Every structure is written in structure tokens, then in C-alpha cells.
């Protein structure tokens, strides 16, 4: 499962046949990382594997005692701020899943060359409907750790990340504001002798950074 460690160290079983594997799930917010982690864990649970789920204990957005998706699906989990403190419990389980590994576990990228599987998920850009690979803060906080959901963060594509609060020329054919404008122009052209209407698809957000 997705896991992260504070240094590039892997604990290997004395029995090579049970040494296991590392799977890493990357992606911006709202890309379904926790949903995918829960899906994989449930598969192992159904197969009667003994699973341990670990969460960052300071992340209590949706549930204090479990990992949770943005739509409130929850699995019970062990909270911690230091992954090494869970080693004794981890070693007596078959499968270990770690959610939100970026909080407090700064060396997550060290897992990439050690992992058997690395998956990069994408979300939908909240400005232009394109493929979103980045997470952008909405506010002006400068702290490294700012825990929050849709009230603090948005998923964006590269072009919308670089041009906050504007319609990026790189993705304007898909942009909500442009679609809204096109809808209004189409309605104006067909309004002679008819009752016309327009649909405003613009999603207005305060991007104050």
C-alpha cells in the first residue's frame, strides 16, 4: 500500500517469500488517492489478510479514528505523527496501508525507486475541466502544513496553476468561463422573435495569492 518512511530504509523479512512489496499512490487532492487505497485494502481484508491502516493523527478533517474519503467513506485507522512508532504493530500484520503520507513523512519520494508499483492519479481541473495534476491553495497561508479540503485547496492543471484567477490561453477551449460566454452569444443570436436564455457555467473563486 502507499507508505512512507523518514529515511530510505526497508525492513525485509528473513523469509524471502514473505518479504512483500511496496505500492505507492500519488496524485493531487480530489484525485481519489484515499479511495484507491481503501479499495486495495478492502480486497485484502476480504481475502482474510490482517491489515493495519495508519493515518496522520493531526488530520481530523472527516474522522478522528479512521481514514476518510471526501464523500465520507471511512475505514478505522491507527493515528500517528511518526511512522517509526508503529513499527511493532506493523510487523505483526500482513498488509499496511498509510494514508496522507505527505504529512510529517518528508522522505516519501525515497520510496519510488524501492516500490514495485507507483501509480499517479489525476483529478479534474476546477477551473477548466482538464486533467489536473496539481493541488493549489486558495488562501494566503504560507505554512508548510495546512490541513483542509475544498475550502482551502483546488485541483488544477498546469496552465491554471501558473495563471491563478485567470482564463489561461493554454486551456481556454475547455474553460468554464469561455463556455458560458459561448452559450450567451449563441442565445443572443437566436433571440430574435423568441424568448432567449443563457446558462452561466462560471465557477467564481477567490484566488488571493
Is 82 labeled as catalytic in the residue annotation?
no
The alpha carbons of the chain give a radius of gyration, in whole angstroms, of: 22
Residue matched to cell numbers 492543471: 157
Helices (H), 24-125: 33-46, 87-90
Q: SS3 of 29, please?
A: coil
Beta bridge partners of 67: 75
List CB contacts of 191: < 8 A, sequence separation 6 or more. Answer: none
Which of 9, 100, 107, 141 does the annotation list as catalytic?
100
Active-site residue list: 100
Amino acid at each position: 500500500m502507499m507508505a512512507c518512511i523518514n529515511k530510505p530504509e526497508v525492513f525485509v523479512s528473513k523469509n524471502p517469500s514473505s518479504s512483500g512489496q511496496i505500492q505507492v499512490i500519488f496524485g493531487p487532492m480530489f484525485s481519489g488517492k484515499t479511495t484507491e487505497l481503501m479499495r486495495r485494502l478492502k480486497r485484502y481484508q476480504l481475502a482474510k489478510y490482517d491489515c493495519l491502516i495508519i493515518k496522520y493523527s493531526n488530520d481530523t478533517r472527516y474522522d478522528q479514528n479512521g481514514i476518510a474519503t471526501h464523500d465520507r467513506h471511512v475505514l478505522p485507522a491507527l493515528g500517528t505523527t511518526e511512522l517509526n512508532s508503529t513499527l511493532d504493530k506493523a510487523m505483526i500484520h500482513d498488509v499496511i496501508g498509510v494514508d496522507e503520507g505527505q504529512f510529517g513523512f518528508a522522505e516519501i519520494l525515497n520510496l519510488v525507486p524501492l516500490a514495485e508499483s507507483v501509480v499517479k492519479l489525476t483529478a479534474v481541473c476546477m477551473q477548466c475541466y482538464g486533467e489536473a495534476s496539481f493541488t493549489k491553495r486558495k488562501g494566503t497561508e504560507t505554512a508548510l502544513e495546512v490541513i483542509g479540503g475544498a475550502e482551502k485547496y483546488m485541483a488544477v492543471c498546469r496552465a491554471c496553476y501558473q495563471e491563478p484567477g485567470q482564463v489561461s490561453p493554454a486551456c481556454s477551449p475547455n474553460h468554464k468561463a469561455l463556455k458560458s460566454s459561448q452559450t450567451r452569444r449563441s442565445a443572443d443570436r437566436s433571440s430574435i422573435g423568441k424568448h432567449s436564455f443563457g446558462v452561466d457555467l462560471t465557477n467564481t473563486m477567490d484566488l488571493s495569492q
